[in-house]
Amino acid sequence: MPLKRSFSNALAAWLMASPLAIVLALFLVLPIAMIVVVSFWGATEFSIYPAFKLDNYEFLLRSSVTYSVFLKTFMFTVISWALCLAIGFTVAYFLAFHIRTQTWQIVLFLVCTVPFLTSNIIRMISWVPFLGRNGIANQTLMSMGIIDEPLEWLLFSDFAVVLAFVHLYTLFMVVPIFNTMMRIDKSLLEAARDAGATGYQTLTNVILPLTKPGIMIGSIFVVTLVMGDFITVRFMSGSQSANVGRLISNDVALLRYPSAAATSVVLLITVLIVIGIMLRFVNIRKEL
Amino acid sequence: MNETPKSNFVSRRSLLKGTAAVAGAAIGSGVVTGFPTIWAQNIKDVTLRQFGTGVSNLNDVAVKVKEDLGFTLEMTALDSDSVTQRAATQPKSFDIADIEYWICKKVWPTGNLQAMDTSKIKNFDKIAPIFTTGKLTPESTVAQGTAPSTVGFVDGKGGTAFAKEVTGWMTLIPTIYNADTLGIRPDLIGRPIDTWAELLNPEFKGKASILDISSIGIMDMAMVCEAMGEIKYADKGNMTREEIDKTIAIFTEAKKNGQFRAFWKSFDESVNLMASGEVVIQSMWSPAITAVKAKGIECVYQPLKEGYRSWGGGIGLSANLSGLELEAAYEYINWYLSGWVGGYLMRQGYYSAVPETSKEFMSENEWGYWYEGKPATGDITSPTGDKLAAAGDVRDGGSYEARMGAVACWNAVMDENQYMVGKWNEFIAA
């Protein structure tokens, strides 16, 4: 009897897990396995053929372009992440601790999401006329007498790329941080105050450790989005900078799928390593 | 079906008799004229699927085909990379491929297209000689790169090797072509520009641009390097590795010195860069110039002393076409060359394969302005009605002969294409 029950329990468990397992297998594992397989294939100018060759990786790892492009990708990622974190944390802090009624918290939070009602590309492109040589930014600065010549580096530069990233992805930082901050028991803050902690001490000793999971979730969003991006870099740098995404998109455009797949695999591994390191600092599961 | 053996029988008999050959021919021709009426009813059910780049995949053409010929033409517009891919890998997905000549060079060996019998093409004799002999005038020489005449013919219907001379089997029927050069903003430059070398002139530091499509961009680079006297190419359309290295090195240095404001990949980007004044000199396409002008901004498609970089497209038939569909495709091609499309394209600033027939569909003023390079006698408008030029204006570069006669090289795909693409990526990442 106990044996039979444990068997039916096990069966039920398998059955309950299988829908998710099947969905994941079909839409996550299978495509990634496919990309890994194709990355070993060979390519002619307009066809790809099954093979097991290391040429794609060899070319990738030997080319100096790869290293400079990965370096650039990391640079964009680190700068965008730091700025998103600083702004996102500030905004979430303000919403969570300075706005007193829940109604206003919700209203202001929704205001933050308003730009997201338009498409990603449109939000990005609208910077172009603003930052241009004869754009609003330059004209304003010149009419205020702050500069004599238009600032060239405002548009089609790394500055523009980072600006667009921060603009596009800060909300992904605000949401999880705001969420964890709202769960912080207010009596903890009172206790800190009663124990004589200054505002800064409360922030660093109470709030910051308790919002770590939110920060980490937001960071994972920002890091993966920035590392996988190609269109923002293309538009905002005027095609003058390259990141890994653009390398892949160039390969796809030239029908070099195996080479694109190899680059994707390397990028995937890199991103996984980065996230693995980040997760060493915070145990998200435990804290959720 | 019943008539065919009979006509054979009659003509064989008449040949034997040796006297009634004329009668046989008369009966034969009776059969032939009867034939179109048989399929004229079925042809309304025919649908031809055409795909190609946006430039000549015009909806107006499909509408007019339905009106004039009765059958349906389905158009799909793709970018040139996808066009190449589709023509090479999905032969069953199309009936008519509207591709560029350099794509033809890449795709033809796959056997996905079939050659066309020139005897079935009514206006074949009137096709501009640049596509047949390669010579605009008997004295001119064939330009560098993938000149259309070098990939325009094969030996037979199933031929895979390109013929060096005109044969009865054509690979592509030319549809649309033009000569490209640099676009400039004369109001912001304020002095004459007459050489490709100006693109790298430090005077335009931070105000120049080049297109980020490697196969075309490398040619514009070559035009510049040659004009600067830095490199002398044997064939700009088929460079050696050493030539590619040198060319890219010169442009990488210019990029590091901040010569370029941006690179563009799509038509709209080039228009915006120029119209906003971010860029004052750049590689550009003819309709982009028109689009900038349409905004009321001065913009010139500057003729340069080294000549033009030219390109041309044409329609090819899928190897899968046969029977009624094939007849319909020939009918379509004959209609294409009969003038209406030509007139439409010429009024957009392109050239048509058979200028002679296009003339009948253009006003004297339009023909004079677009083709002969004469001052306009009245307003020149685009097919969609935008005003492009006023009375007295002359087309940049002048007449057809002046422009197409000064082609220095054609868009091409190099033997060292893969190597070049790798180098191009380095240039963009530099």
Alpha-carbon distance B235 to B242, whole Å? 13
> Between chains, do B429 and A65 touch, taking CB under 8 Å as contact?
yes
Both A241 and A176 in one domain: the answer is yes
Read off the CATH number of the domain in which A263 is found: 1.10.3720.10
Both A12 and A116 in one domain: the answer is no
DSSP 3-state assignment of B174? strand
Has residue A52 been placed in a domain?
no
Both A122 and A263 in one domain: the answer is yes
pLDDT at A46: 66
Tally of CB atoms within 10 A around A3: 6
ipTM confidence: 0.79
Of the ranges A185-194, B136-145, B223-232, B407-416, which one carries the lowest mean pLDDT score?
Answer: B136-145
Residue B162 is classified by DSSP as B
Has residue A49 been placed in a domain?
no
Of all residues in chain A, the one with the smallest CA distance to B212 is: A239
> Between chains, do B262 and A254 touch, taking CB under 8 Å as contact?
no
> Between chains, do B278 and A247 touch, taking CB under 8 Å as contact?
no
Both A21 and A133 in one domain: the answer is no
Which of the listed CATH numbers 1.10.4160.10, 3.40.50.300, 3.90.850.10, 3.40.190.10 matches domain B182-306+404-429?
3.40.190.10
Please tell me which of the candidates A134, A239, A254 has its beta carbon nearest to residue B263. A239
The answer to whether B34 and B26 are in contact (CB under 8 A) is no
* Residue B317: closest CA among B154, B82, B135, B125: B154
> Between chains, do B429 and A156 touch, taking CB under 8 Å as contact?
no
> Between chains, do B263 and A238 touch, taking CB under 8 Å as contact?
yes
Has residue A176 been placed in a domain?
yes
Of all residues in chain A, the one with the smallest CA distance to B256 is: A240
Both A23 and A160 in one domain: the answer is no
Region for residue A269 given its phi and psi (left: phi exceeds 0; alpha: psi -120 to 50; beta: otherwise) = alpha
Taking 90 as the threshold, does the pLDDT of residue A59 lie above it? Answer: no
**Model pLDDT for residues A200-258, shown as the tens digit of each residue:** 999 999 999 999 999 999 999 999 999 999 999 999 999 888 899 998 988 887 778 89
Mean pLDDT over the full length of chain A: 90
Of all residues in chain B, the one with the smallest CA distance to A131 is: B278
Please tell me if residue A133 touches chain B, with a CB cutoff of 8 Å: yes
Both A141 and A261 in one domain: the answer is yes
> Between chains, do B261 and A45 touch, taking CB under 8 Å as contact?
no
> Between chains, do B277 and A46 touch, taking CB under 8 Å as contact?
no
Written as six digits, the tokens of A198 are 């200054």
Written as six digits, the tokens of B165 are 């001379």
Sign of CA dihedral A58, A59, A62, A68: negative
Q: Which residues of B touch A (CB under 8 A)?
A: 81, 84-85, 88-89, 106-107, 110, 206, 209, 212, 214, 255, 260-265, 272-273, 276-278, 417-418, 421-422, 425-426, 428-430
Taking 90 as the threshold, does the pLDDT of residue B290 lie above it? Answer: no
pLDDT at B22: 43
Residue from B90, B272, B297, B425 whose CB has the most chain A CBs within 10 Å, to mutate: B425
Any residues with CB less than 8 A from the CB of B381 and at least 6 apart, and which?
B347, B387, B388
> Between chains, do A47 and B277 touch, taking CB under 8 Å as contact?
no
Tally of CB atoms within 10 A around A10: 10
pLDDT at A286: 65
pLDDT at A134: 86
Alpha-carbon distance B134 to B203, whole Å? 38
pLDDT at B82: 79
Mean pLDDT over the full length of chain B: 85
Both A83 and A17 in one domain: the answer is no
Output the DSSP codes for A184-250.
S-HHHHHHHHHTT--HHHHIIIIIHHHHHHHHHHHHHHHHHHHHH--HHHHHHTTT-S--HHHHHHH
Q: Which CATH topology does B43-178+310-361 take?
A: D-Maltodextrin-Binding Protein; domain 2 (3.40.190)
Residue numbers in A near B428 (CB within 8 A):
239-240, 242, 246, 250
The answer to whether B397 and B305 are in contact (CB under 8 A) is no
Q: Above pLDDT 90, what percent of chain B?
A: 51
> Between chains, do A132 and B276 touch, taking CB under 8 Å as contact?
yes
For residue A255, the enclosing domain spans 65-287
**Model pLDDT for residues B6-37, shown as the tens digit of each residue:** 444 444 444 444 444 444 444 444 444 444 44
**Model pLDDT for residues B46-56, shown as the tens digit of each residue:** 899 999 876 77
Both A143 and A6 in one domain: the answer is no
Q: Above pLDDT 90, what percent of chain A?
A: 62
Alpha-carbon distance B272 to B24, whole Å? 66
Output the DSSP codes for B90-126.
-GGG-SEEEEEHHHHHHHGGGT-EE-EEGGG-TTGGG
Sign of CA dihedral A234, A236, A237, A238: positive
Domain boundaries, chain B: 1-31, 43-178+310-361, 182-306+404-429
Radius of gyration for the alpha carbons in chain A, expressed in angstroms and rounded: 24
Alpha-carbon distance B430 to A71, whole Å? 12
The answer to whether A273 and B297 are in contact (CB under 8 A) is no
Has residue A214 been placed in a domain?
yes
* Residue B372: closest CA among B342, B351, B391, B341: B351
- Rounded to a whole number of angstroms, the distance from the CA of B111 to the nearest CA of chain A is 13
Both A21 and A101 in one domain: the answer is no
